[in-house]
């Protein structure tokens, strides 16, 4: 069964994420701390600011449960700001601590680069990628992580220089792009991740 729980970050494009997962046969609900621990699959979406997303996660009491789940490599999908909050912090929201699951700080694109990056860009998977294949994905971001932390498989994209467009570790997939808005390429990516959810159910 493809049962998925979504973290209600309050800044998320929840409707499009739910629609994409539902089209692929998933049953979708909203998360409580108990759900984050017990669900076969959890999605951490986000559109908006790093600080607002982390404030919502903290207010819901979900930070510890999310951290434990991701550290264990259980099926978790993080999208856009949802990927960024896995880091220590972000230049976007100084003083706002992330989940500190990645040895990385989120930085703004260099001066002179168009921000936000809005639209389609090429994704090149890492050599050991299980989920990401080469193709075109839809992005909407002004901030990014530059390099993959140790122990994670990273996919790369170029926008004023290379940056990290996806991370994989165990059954955890974090995407700077929006797979739910990335056509058939994104649907195939989500389907590969949902197969891990099925196996964990």
Task: Convert the pLDDT of each residue in 25-70 to its tens digit.
Answer: 999 998 888 899 999 999 999 888 999 999 999 999 999 999 999 9
pLDDT of residue 121: 98
The 8-class DSSP code of residue 145 comes to B
pLDDT of residue 11: 62
Cite the beta strand spans of the chain per DSSP E: 3-6, 27-30, 41-44, 76-79, 89-90, 105-108, 117-123, 135-141, 143-144, 153-158, 162-169, 172-175
Beta strands 162-169 and 117-123: pairing type? unpaired
Catalytic residues: 80, 178, 180
Tell me the pLDDT band of 12, cut-offs 50, 70 and 90.
low
CATH of the domain at 89: 3.40.50.880
pLDDT digits (tens, 9 = 90+) for 117-135: 999 999 999 999 999 999 9
- Could you give the number of structural domains in the chain? 1
pLDDT of residue 85: 97
Structure pTM? 0.96
d(CA 145, CA 128): 19
d(CA 196, CA 181): 21
Measured torsion, CA atoms of residues 9, 161, 186, 85, in degrees rounded to the nearest 10: -20
* Residue span of the structural domain in which 152 resides: 3-200
């Amino acid at each position: 069964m493809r049962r998925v729980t979504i973290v209600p970050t309050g800044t998320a494009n929840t409707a499009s994420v739910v629609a994409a997962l539902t089209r692929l046969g998933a049953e979708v609900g909203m998360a409580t701390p108990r759900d984050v621990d017990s669900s076969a699959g959890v999605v951490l979406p986000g559109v908006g600011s790093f600080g607002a997303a982390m404030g919502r996660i903290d207010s819901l009491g979900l930070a510890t449960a999310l951290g434990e789940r991701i550290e264990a490599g259980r099926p978790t999908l993080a999208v856009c700001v949802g990927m960024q909050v896995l880091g220590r912090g972000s230049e976007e929201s100084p003083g706002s601590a992330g989940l500190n699951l990645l040895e990385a700080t989120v930085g703004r694109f260099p001066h002179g680069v168009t921000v936000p990056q809005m639209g389609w860009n090429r994704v090149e998977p890492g050599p050991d990628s299980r989920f990401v294949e080469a193709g075109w994905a839809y992005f909407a971001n002004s901030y990014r992580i530059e390099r993959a932390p140790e122990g994670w498989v990273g996919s790369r994209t170029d926008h004023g220089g290379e940056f990290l467009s996806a991370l994989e570790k165990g059954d955890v997939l974090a995407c700077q792009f929006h797979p739910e808005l990335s056509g058939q390429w994104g649907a195939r990516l989500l389907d590969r991740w949902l197969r891990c959810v099925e196996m964990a159910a």
